[in-house]
A = this chain, B = another copy of it.
Amino acid sequence: MLSQMLKNVRERHPLIHNITNYVTVNDCANILIACGGSPIMSDDPQDAVEITSICGGLNINIGTLNARTIPSMLSAGKRANELSHPVILDPVGAGASALRTETANRLLDEVKFSVIRGNISEIKTLALGISNTQGVDASSLDAVTADNIESVIAFAKEFSEKTGAVIAITGATDIVSDQNNTYVITNGVPMMADITGSGCMLTAMTAAYITANPENILMATAASVCAMGLCGEKAFEIVAKNGEGNSSFRNRLIDCVYNLTADELEKGAKYELR
């Protein structure tokens, strides 16, 4: 039951340590509160390990990474592993530069992740060493379509087996998979690509979902992905009705997460389990 995943976030109020980029950090904090979690941000090597220790889960996002924050990601990730805290990776822009690709790969080598969430180009970069990444958006050459979905599912299962992490490949169609089971999710609207931070916010929210549901990482991740897509649909309705644009869409998306009920999630989630 996806709805139980949401209920657990609201009841357990997980405290999430975020080492994330400064572009979307405010949105990540507000969506974490909106879904029922509690955010704390800390990225200095002197602070990160201790902050992770008082939290329940860790969100590592490599957008705008720099020489100071990389060691923080590694040391906090290792500490979270020692404490058996769920850890999620958002490999923003992996494939777009050597620093990003190498940092993501080093994180995968040294930290055990519960979930890896990215667009198809980023995940291909990590799994295969190659992709068509351009900037921080997925390349259209990599798009998940009806024609290639079976092979993408197989690819996700294989990468999950290799890493031990649930793999969340998000886009028009979302794939959430462990090595055996895959949720194919079709919630969402194209306007989600018209704001910065849709992906970052989803990763942050997923950190809360998996931290509140450590016994069920796959379903918790699927619930978070469905919730975000469903809230995108709701936000789009309001924005379209009011003739608003992408900045209002961002606010209404977070608002919808704040107001989303377990019942609405259960009824509105559009997925197929394969």
Copies of the chain in the assembly: 3
Please, how many angstroms separate the alpha-carbon atoms of A253 and B27 in the complex?
16
Chain B residues whose C-beta falls within 8 Å of the C-beta of A29 in the assembled complex: 23-24, 196-197
Chain A, range 251-273, C-beta contacts under 8 Å to B: 251-259
Most chain B CB within 10 A, of A29, A34, A46, is at A46
Q: Which of A59-67, A110-118, A154-162, A207-215 contacts B (4 or more CB under 8 A)?
A: A59-67
A250 at the B interface (CB under 8 A): yes
Question: What's the tally of chain A residues with a CB closer than 8 Å to chain B?
Answer: 62
A195 at the B interface (CB under 8 A): yes
A34 touches B97 (CB 8 A): no
Q: Which B residues touch A86, using CB under 8 A? A: none
CB <8 Å contact, A54 and B135: yes
Q: Contact between A196 and B39 (Cβ–Cβ < 8 Å)?
A: yes
A259 touches B247 (CB 8 A): no
Q: What distance in Å separates the Cβ of A175 from its nearest Cβ neighbour in chain B?
A: 24
What are 12 sample pairs from A and B whose C-beta atoms fall under 8 A apart?
A22-B22, A23-B25, A34-B247, A47-B66, A51-B93, A54-B134, A67-B68, A194-B258, A245-B254, A247-B252, A247-B254, A251-B251
